Structure 1
């Protein structure tokens, strides 16, 4: 018996809630198992990522019409309410009657046939709440909908402006009198993170970040410079009528339209790796040269590892370490696809230190809050807790110190995160510089989300010569 896209989406949301992996992996596994058409695959991705990203907004719209305590509604029924509300509010190409009917029919699939009437009643109220009118002004009766598409390609060129869908009545906090609750509900962020960012960035920048993180992130690839130049690969893409534009990094290409990675030309031959523009800057910052011995302290899934080997023209040695055996396998698999040798993977056991070295240079891409990549990992906004920062900062500090100890005098260490939190970024670097003599800050860089890609940070430290 065939399975529908909506059924697959409901099942993936159920698995995601149990923290059984990130949405991207779960969707990929589920659509492959269901043998869906390309169109249905895209629909599943749109539904799953949309519901996870906009969960806080959907709850704010739903709760006025649910006269039960939240805990009294089964988790899988709540998934259906969110799925239906997402289609009614954010997918204008789905007819309202279809969104309601098809979602109600999912009740049997999730084992809650008696909830059909309840789901139907609530979703009909949501259908009545959403209008077909749009505005460029926020308000208690206006839901942030989408980025303005009139400006070409990048959000920064659109100035971060977005459109808002009008509602028939106010159900959101007032953005003027209650800016933090409004940002949390309208843009779907936990209240503690809304408070944190509003204090740091102010309302205008938070709105820009909200629109950026709630939009589908752009696809970037890094052209393998050992196999092709960026321009020759662009010609290869153009021959198949695939558009790509060059980014600031000399190996970067951005695709205005999304594509199946494995269907792009040169995938099997290792002509490119999927990697965000901001991530490409990190390995380049280390300044490696052919013949170097390099430590990649937290290597999985291998994007930066393979980039280091490319930057050494394939002549050198990278010791790629990680504590997760499955993720470490992805490093070896990517190196094999990219036709790169000289990469040695090392599985570290709990609290085991890095190989002794000495190394000419080290990259420490530490575990972090991931707040710079919330668009790609939508679960982060809900899984991250404010009390985790203390643990993360201790771990990040320890890893940077250990890696710096493995680098020979005169060598460089690059510390990097995909976080936009200062205490994980320059805060850690400053603390290590205070505690380690002979280590100096040579350069640092903040990647701002949406300008033009993911958020993140890197700092290059140099050890004094003996």
Structure 2
């Protein structure tokens, strides 16, 4: 084909291919980082556009479908996947990337559909996206929707079926009712959460709290660093104080942060809720000599443990290859760390752990602002599988405990079945005495300052009698 491509087409083409792959997988979206520069010649600006498009689709997948649906002649599942991808990408730019001209978004989606599928399909995409663009009656700024603002109630009123809440606290007012009449369906679509998850939360937390959590998950979660010292000149211009003492919100670039983390060895990126899991250990009656971090991930809590207990030997492992490699790299900074494969760790540390950290896999329901792809895969069957996996990890791990050892069980979930119920099971099954447990609900709403943001999560401390 010799047709002239629309401006910005290369970036949008890469984003569209990624979104097509996501549409083929939905609701099991790919969680691998999306780097549009790999294998391409995109400059930094175009790469940022491609990432922004894919990010908007992942975060607002169900919202986008709801806003597209009134303009379709057939049901969404009946559309071919490339058509779905083109509509999602185009609508995401029209609705959520307000600096992108609607015409550019439409033209690129139409051109890609013609090339990827057939010319006739491009005509359908063109017609629908132009209707989506025409359905935006007003962009309401966050200053009018914040608490005390003239339109605050409009954003939180789930019965208004033409209001789209935005991550910055603002909203879109549409010319038509896009969202479901049913309360759970309306919250599900407005905030892009699986309807089954919303119904589950309503049963667990009540309607008002469910709406609050779902709106919280729209927030662009900030990068939070600790320990933060306002007097440190290296942090002064790029960090603002968080509401939790000792934490700061990073405002600089990722490249600057990487440099700073190298310059300040003790500095780490960590949300206050995650940090509080290890902080409770400061009250232990005796300092542990051997610590095992069995699900260490990339080692954020491992690093925190190494700093808190510099005289302890810390065994750390993770079954996933890239996370294990990150642990190996960290070992150079912390001589008290031993990074071993799971099997070797079980042999080396059996019966020796004064402290066993079990930061187990979970539904991620406390961190859905950071993990938006996890909003769509919630089902009762998946929850059961997660619980079984947690038990499969925890039960053999108890054999690592020393005679008077303690278990620190943690998740980034707010689900009772993954948290309190599992801690109670561990206590009963393995004769462990519960010392404390704590559930932290996520905080920070659209329009509120990043300093108020906190992930949700759970931790429990259990000890051998």
The TM-score, its normalising length taken from structure 1, stands at 0.83
SS at match of 2:372: coil
Match of residue 207 from structure 2:
203
SS at match of 2:380: coil
Distance 1:372 1:417 in 2: 9
SS at match of 1:94: coil
Match of residue 402 from structure 2:
408
SS at match of 1:268: helix
Evaluate the alpha carbon distance shift between residue 204 and residue 261 of structure 1 in structure 2; reply closer, same or farther with a 3 A threshold: farther
Match of residue 461 from structure 1:
462
Distance 1:97 1:219 in 2: 33
Mapping 1:340-351, distance limit 5 Å: 340-348=334-342
Q: Tell me if 1:449 matches 2:442.
A: yes
Deviations 1:299-356 (A, max 9, x none): 122111111111123x3221112222332112222444xx222222222369x88941
Match of residue 294 from structure 1:
291
Deviation at 1:194, TM superposition (A): 1.2
Deviation at 1:215, TM superposition (A): 2.1
Evaluate the alpha carbon distance shift between residue 301 and residue 379 of structure 1 in structure 2; reply closer, same or farther with a 3 A threshold: same
Match of residue 332 from structure 1:
328
Q: Which residue of 49, 54, 58 maps to 1:48? A: 54
Distance 1:49 1:427 in 2: 34
Match of residue 146 from structure 2:
none
Q: Tell me if 1:278 matches 2:273.
A: yes
Match of residue 68 from structure 2:
62
Q: Is the 8 A contact 1:216 1:375 kept in 2?
A: yes
Mapping 1:92-107, distance limit 5 Å: 92-107=98-113
Q: Which residue of 192, 205, 214 maps to 1:188? A: 192
Q: Is the 8 A contact 1:12 1:26 kept in 2?
A: no
Distance 1:140 1:259 in 2: 37
Q: Is the 8 A contact 1:249 1:281 kept in 2?
A: no
Unaligned residue ranges in structure 2 (runs of 5+): 141-150, 445-452
Match of residue 147 from structure 2:
none
Mapping 1:116-131, distance limit 5 Å: 116-131=122-137
Q: Which residue of 157, 166, 183 maps to 2:173? A: 166
SS at match of 1:214: coil
Q: Which moved more, 1:449-458 or 1:67-76?
A: 67-76
Deviation at 1:357, TM superposition (A): 3.5
Distance 1:427 1:46 in 2: 39
Distance 1:50 1:11 in 2: 15
Distance 1:309 1:23 in 2: 32
The TM-score, its normalising length taken from structure 2, stands at 0.83
Q: Is the 8 A contact 2:404 2:464 kept in 1?
A: yes
Match of residue 4 from structure 1:
10
Mapping 1:64-463, distance limit 5 Å: 64-108=70-114, 110=116, 112-134=118-140, 135-136=151-152, 137=154, 138=157, 139-148=160-169, 163-174=170-181, 178-223=182-227, 230-231=229-230, 234-238=232-236, 241-246=237-242, 248=244, 250=246, 252-255=247-250, 257=251, 259-261=253-255, 263-269=257-263, 271=265, 272-287=267-282, 292-313=289-310, 315-336=311-332, 339-348=333-342, 355-437=349-431, 439-450=432-443, 452-463=453-464
Q: Is the 8 A contact 1:218 1:453 kept in 2?
A: no
**Larger RCO, structures 1/2 (Cα 8 Å, 6+ apart):** 2
Deviation at 1:383, TM superposition (A): 2.9
SS at match of 2:417: coil
Deviation at 1:128, TM superposition (A): 1.3
Deviation at 1:38, TM superposition (A): 4.2
Deviations 1:255-279 (A, max 9, x none): 2x36315555423346333222211
Q: In the comparison of the two structures, how many residue pairs are matched?
A: 432
Q: What is the Cα-based RMSD across aligned positions, in Å?
A: 3.0
Distance 1:409 1:112 in 2: 69
Evaluate the alpha carbon distance shift between residue 120 and residue 377 of structure 1 in structure 2; reply closer, same or farther with a 3 A threshold: same
Q: Is the 8 A contact 2:299 2:326 kept in 1?
A: yes
Q: Is the 8 A contact 2:360 2:390 kept in 1?
A: yes
Deviation at 1:296, TM superposition (A): 0.5
Evaluate the alpha carbon distance shift between residue 19 and residue 59 of structure 1 in structure 2; reply closer, same or farther with a 3 A threshold: closer
